[in-house]
Structure 1
Amino acid sequence: MISIGTPLLWTQFLVFVLIALAIDFLALNRQGSHTVSMREATIWTLVWVAVSSLFVGWLWWYLGGTGPDPISRELADAKALEFITGYLVEKALAVDNIFVFLMIFTYFAVPSAFQKRVLMIGILGALVLRAIMIFIGAWLISQFHWIMYVFGAFLLFTGIKMWWAAGQEPDLGNNPALRWIQRHMKLSPNYDDEKFFTVTDGVKMATPLFVVILLIGIVDLVFAVDSIPAIFAITTDPFIVLTSNVFAILGLRAMYFLLAGMHERFHLLSYGLAIVLGFIGIKMLLIDIYKVPIVWSLGFTITTLAVTMLLSLRIPARTGKAGTAFPFSPKRDDGSTEEK
């Protein structure tokens, strides 16, 4: 499999990400547990978008004839476009991910001051998981070309399933993973600051925060299964696949707090994501018959998402059904409880 990822490029990318994570962690530790304001979320979202833009700009410069190890301007243009398209697709899919996070936080009445650290842990887990799955996917594609048809069929099926489920209220209470956790772990009904385990009446129990971490990890896995094939439909270069994924995930925490209060406004966005996934699935199924230009994929994705977001603002949302209640009502940081 052809890739622009030289040992030097991989090293530079790794250093870049580690520095970005270190800055993010330093800011998190200095601020401590606190409720993230809309202003803070907006600033950090813009920072991560700027960082991603700087990276793709640097990559384009590095490959395009003016960097220290030039290859060609044509290749630089192609790779930059692949990165931007992949980044946009992953960002779009991350929005659906964010709405599921919001449902989990609301269901477990997670205090807003704790959500920031929980998301940071979830993002680290997602980075490791995506890297592993991307390299496995790249190896499979290099060894078995027909796996592209499997990915395409899976994405088409996922798009149809997402369209069918759009607008329906998820029933977290009947989620198999949550029911398994309830059966196999002793769960405390109360939060104990940001601890994952606590002792109640001499018995060690998992706090609701630990359950939330587990569920977010499962959500990361499920969404990775959808998004990894989607990015391989845009490019099979492991370097572009991984870098676009990583930069899309790095800004996930800030984007969550920015969009958490807007999920009802963009209630039709899931339909747009379903259309995008279906389009990408068909694109993969036709890969040996007709290769859809990257520019077309980028234009289709932007147009579809923009149209569904505009329609969301014009068409009122339907009221969904409430999910099944959790067997206990976690206490908030002010000591009160929220009945589900």
Structure 2
Amino acid sequence: MEFLHTPFLTQPLWLWLSFLAIVALLLALDLGVLHRDDREIGVRESLWLSAGYIGVAVLFGAWVWHHLGPQPGLEYFTGYLIEKSLSMDNVFVIALIFGYFAVPRQYQHRVLFWGILGVIVLRALMIGLGAALVSQFSWVLYLFGAFLVLTGLKMLWMSGHQTDLAGNPLLKFLRRRMRVTDGLHGHDFFVRQPHPVSGKTVLWATPLFLALCMVEFADLVFAVDSVPAIFAITTDPFIVYTSNIFAILGLRALYFALAAMIHRFAYLKYALALVLVFIGGKIFLVNIVGKIPPTISLSVTGALIAAGVLVSLWKTRDTRDTGEARQVEEARGEAREGRPASALKAR
């Protein structure tokens, strides 16, 4: 059993295998036991499921603290909080994707679940590449820092920018290269249907598969921000990867609760932008004030996120979510004109 103690990316192999076993168990429990059937996940179930994921992540962090020491433990919790916070911005985009493709709520969990598998692989590749670059070229951290500062400033400047999915290059590419059905076919990503010209039965992708691709692409885009942000906290690939995956697992579970109250977090993006600026600026402050302790990084990050949430809740305390009412009216108008009620399908 000596091979289990073989170092792999700074940590023994058994640590990595233990983490992957925990993730595999969580995913098997999620899909195989809790959500074997397609059904709509309510806010209460979403909150309980998220609480379970958070509890597992906190216990894992406590174990890291006990086994590897206080500093890796603090770095894990800081990375977890940063990834959790930055990923919340991804919820806005995922909700937009589901609305664009009119994915019913009972199929949304299926897309998010299979999207997790892609996230696990993509994040591993990105973090492995980042770790290799940082270990060979220490100046890469300064590039990460500059990128984070510029990204944060861009987020502050473009906080009101709306995402245009119809003009997305990936979506246009997929529609050109694949046969895509006009509507959904239950929870299937692919179906076999006759070709309109030859009449032969061929494989078609469904809009649900396009939604899955767009969710994966959105996560890849957001990873470009979050991965350098955690490397600015620690260069240990084990801490970076585990904190990333646990944060994403919990956020996907929380999606159904957050999607119902997105409008209440209108000012959170400003807090996330300031977090990126702080984390990026921290790298350049090392040569001036020395390495900033993980406790300060965790405290500042937590304070910024908490302030963003509180300000959002305060500013939107008197607003009401008129989105559903607007969709109902649009659906009624479409019905009167003989068009499909796409707005209600998006629900």
TM-score, normalised by the number of residues in structure 1? 0.86
Hey, what does 2:285 align to over in structure 1? 286
SS in 1 for 2:160: coil
Q: What's the offset of the Cα at 1:169? A: 2.3
1:41 aligns to what?
Answer: 46
Residue identity (%): 47
Aligned amino acid, residue 305 of structure 1: I
AA at the equivalent of 2:218: V
Q: Where do residues 155-304 of structure 1 align in structure 2 (5 Å cutoff)?
A: 155-199=148-192, 202-203=195-196, 204-289=203-288, 290-304=290-304
Q: Secondary structure at the match of 2:265?
A: coil
CA distance in 2, matches of 1:16, 1:198: 33
Partner residue in 1 for 2:342: 338
Match of 2:73 in 1: 80
User: Could you say if the C-alpha distance between residues 29 and 312 of structure 1 is closer, same or farther in structure 2, counting changes exceeding 3 Å?
Assistant: closer
- The amino acid of 2:78's aligned partner reads T
- In 2, the alpha carbon distance for the partners of 1:3 and 1:124 equals 21
- C-alpha displacement at 1:198, in angstroms? 3.2
For 1:36, give the aligned amino acid: I
**Are 1:20 and 2:26 counterparts?**
yes
Partners of 1:288 and 1:145 in 2: how far apart?
Answer: 14
Contact 1:162 1:271 (C-alpha < 8 Å) held by counterparts: yes
Query: How many residues end up aligned between the 2 structures?
Result: 313
Query: Does the C-alpha gap of structure 1 residues 163 and 2 become closer, same or farther in structure 2, counting only changes over 3 Å?
Result: farther
Report if aligned partners of 1:167, 1:267 keep a CA contact under 8 Å in 2.
Answer: no
Q: Which runs of 5+ in 1 are unaligned?
A: 64-75, 320-334
What is the distance in 2 between the residues matched to 1:146 and 1:4? 20
Asked if 1 retains the 8 angstrom alpha-carbon contact of 2:65 and 2:74, the reply is no
For residues 7 and 206 of structure 1, what CA distance do their matches in structure 2 show?
39
Paired residue type of 1:156: V
Residue identity opposite 2:243 in structure 1: S
The answer to whether the 8 Å contact 2:65/2:71 transfers is no
The alpha carbon displacement at 1:184 in A equals: 2.9
Q: Take 2:282 and 2:10, find their aligned partners in 1: how far apart are those partners?
A: 23
Change (3 A) 1:181 1:2: closer
Measured in 2, the distance between the counterparts of 1:201 and 1:9 equals 50
Q: Which residue of 2 aligns with 1:61?
A: 66
Shift of 1:116: 0.4
Letter in 2 for 1:138: A
Query: Relative to structure 2, which stretch is displaced further, 216-225 or 82-91?
Result: 216-225
2:128 to 127, 135, 143: 135
Once residues 148 and 134 of structure 2 are traced to their aligned partners in structure 1, the CA distance between those partners, rounded to angstroms, is 16
CA distance in 2, matches of 1:205, 1:229: 38
Matching residue of 1:153: 146
Q: Distance in 1 between matches of 2:139 and 2:219?
A: 26
Query: Following the alignment from structure 1 to structure 2, what is the Cα–Cα distance between the partners of residues 114 and 300?
Result: 38
Q: TM-score, normalised by structure 2?
A: 0.84
- Whole-Å Cα distance in 2 between the matches of residues 8 and 181 of structure 1? 40
1:28 offset after TM fit, Å? 4.6
- Give 3-state SS (helix, strand or coil) of 1:172's partner: coil
1:149 is paired with a residue whose SS is helix
In the aligned structure 1, how far is the partner of 2:190 from the partner of 2:10?
45
AA aligned to 2:39 is H
What is the CA RMSD across the aligned residues, in angstroms? 2.5
- Taking the aligned partners of 2:33 and 2:250, their CA distance within structure 1 comes to 14
SS in 2 for 1:198: strand
Residue identity opposite 1:155 in structure 2: L
Distance 1:2 1:151, change over 3 A: farther
Q: Does the residue aligned with 1:188 lie in a helix, a strand or coil? A: coil
| Larger displacement relative to structure 2 (87-96 or 10-19) | 10-19
> What is the distance in 2 between the residues matched to 1:114 and 1:52?
26
Give 5+ residue unaligned stretches, structure 2.
Answer: 1-6, 197-202, 322-338
1:3–1:295 CA distance, 2 compared to 1 (3 A): farther
Measured in 1, the distance between the counterparts of 2:167 and 2:75 equals 39
Q: Does 1:99 align with 2:89?
A: no
Contact conserved, 2:122 with 2:220, CA < 8 A, in 1?
Answer: yes
